[in-house]
Amino acid sequence: MHFYANLSDIGEKVMKSHNSISIAAISMARNDGIFISKWIDYYGRELGTGNLFLLLDGLDQPLPRGYENLNVIRLPHRELPRAAGDRNRSRLVSHFARGLFHRYDTIIAHDIDEYLVVDPLTGSSLPEYLSRSRNCRSLSALGLDVGQHPVNEQPVDPTLPFLEQRSYAHVSARYTKPVVANAPLTWGSGFHRVKGRNFRIDPNLFLFHFGMVDYKVAEEKKGDSSLHKAGWTRHLERRNEIFNLITTREAADGDSFFREARRRQSLLRPLFALNKPGMLSEKPVIRIPERFRNIL
């Protein structure tokens, strides 16, 4: 394990909100192309770069731009099938987050291509909002799976805000995840649930998933034989369905649907996992409200 930060000095770097709570963000990445930089820029701006903890899955992974200003931990890579790898990653992050609660009040944790956003209508920054939302052990954010419209939208430019370039998202329970922890807990596979606990979908938090933000990149990934060998075939096919949904479905106004989506995901839960939100059968596509365009 290689540390590129003086962890004994974390307490000196903690950024606190107006209500004096400290917040850290954790993510884990391997063979990433464009999302690490976006994650560092976004959460660095919101929380302070010294409060970011990036776990690099593999000693062969290159250090990201600006790594000197954040906490980078390089771990030996383990070759695992997709499902087992998801479980392993969630357990590892859960244990790591448990240790950080000795220095932090709240932890944000999720995959590297996901970003937690507070609705601009609240008038609050992310840390300000979370400082007022500590009455639950964890908070879930409404999941918006953002995809490229293959006909109407150009390939993504990673140097520009993603939401300036993308207008549509699938409202998906797969990304309505309990990514905010206000106390030590254990995340299930893929951060989709908290083991042994219920969930609460916050009315003002969104989790934007950008894994399918670019059609060409997604197609290249679908053609990666190593991913198919590791059991990613069905997962990639399911994720790629978003391009067809965005092309063929009439997009609803996001603001007219968000409250209903939260209500239905909370009520209609899968019988095999009652502590996870339920999928919406019509697979709704929405237009992302304009107020989010310059956020990330």
Q: For residue 68, name the pLDDT band (cuts at 50, 70, 90).
A: confident
On the question of pLDDT at 146 being above 90, the answer is yes
Model confidence over 161-191: pLDDT tens digits?
Answer: 999 999 999 999 999 999 999 999 999 999 9
Q: What is the pTM of this model?
A: 0.90
Q: For residue 10, name the pLDDT band (cuts at 50, 70, 90).
A: very low
Tokens 């391997």 correspond to 30
Region 32-39: mean pLDDT is 92
Region 222-234: mean pLDDT is 58
Q: What is the CATH number of domain 2-292?
A: 3.90.550
What per-residue confidence (pLDDT) applies to 230?
A: 58
What per-residue confidence (pLDDT) applies to 222?
A: 63
Based on C-alpha coordinates, what's the Rg of the chain? 18
Task: Count the alpha carbons within 13 Å of 256 in the hemisphere toward its beta carbon.
Answer: 7
Cβ–Cβ under 8 Å, residues 156 and 138: no
Helical H runs in the chain? Answer: 10-13, 35-47, 82-100, 126-131, 162-165, 215-222, 225-229, 233-248, 254-267
Region 105-113: mean pLDDT is 97
End-to-end CA distance of the chain: 31
Q: Look up residue 229 and give its two tokens.
A: 């060998």
Q: Look up residue 16 and give its two tokens.
A: 């606190």
